[in-house]
Amino acid sequence: MKFFVDTADVAEIRALAESGMVDGVTTNPSLIAKSGRKMSEVIAEICAITEGPVSAEVTATDFAGMLAEGKYLRDIAANVAVKVPLTEAGLRTCRALSNEGTPVNVTLCFSAAQALLAAKAGAAFISPFVGRLDDIAHDGMTLIGDIVQIYRNYPGIKTEVLVASVRHPIHLVQSAKLGAHVATLPPSVIRQLLKHPLTDSGLSAFLADWAKTGQSIL
């Protein structure tokens, strides 16, 4: 399973990339706004950190506007994946850009039917939002399972399931068990994956025993 980091914080991306935990990056207008910087500058800097796909999202809502913004964003760097919403205009944009060889991440997916449409439009990635479904008392993992099953039924579908709106490590583990291709995680959730009380207590015991020897490795 590939791990994307869901942030526009360049320092966080660089730190996680150095640990080998970043296969790509996803951003959105809200995350870019938090950075307080120009979108093109942020995306260019992120693309220089990771070789994996970096999702840069359009903000227009009409087809012509999305297409123009998508072409602008893809020219920032070779590893940009243009991100579009799952609307009719978004799918038209996805088809147009995909036909030109540009990878497209179709976002804000909340149903298996929507995911099937995105695949037919040529999306490189479909981003179902599990946390937001959980927020309204729907099981986000059921959606992931449905999409993975449908895509597997049709070998011609090359769209990767990119699990988004991940709130905690259980979302990640369940997605991996279901066979999702990618999960995009906030930096805080990636760091939660490292934590286990038995790891901490075991390390403390090892270090305490070593200290009693009075030795130094170097």
Q: Model's pTM, two decimal places? A: 0.94
Q: Length of the chain, please?
A: 218
Active site residues: 83
Is-contact 166 131, C-beta < 8 A? yes
pLDDT of residue 21: 87
Is-contact 9 32, C-beta < 8 A? no
How confident is residue 188, by pLDDT bands cut at 50, 70 and 90? very high
What's the domain range around 105?
2-213
Angle at 141 between CA 81 and CA 136, to 5 degrees: 95
Residue 105: its H or E element: strand 104-109
The answer to whether residue 47 is domain-embedded is yes
What CA dihedral angle connects 131, 45, 47 and 140, to 10 degrees? 0
Q: How many domains does the structure of the chain reveal?
A: 1
The answer to whether residue 218 is domain-embedded is no
Question: pLDDT per residue over 5-26, tens digit each?
Answer: 999 999 999 999 998 889 999 9
Residue 95 is part of a domain; what is its CATH number?
3.20.20.70
Question: pLDDT per residue over 33-46, tens digit each?
Answer: 999 999 999 999 99
The answer to whether residue 98 is domain-embedded is yes
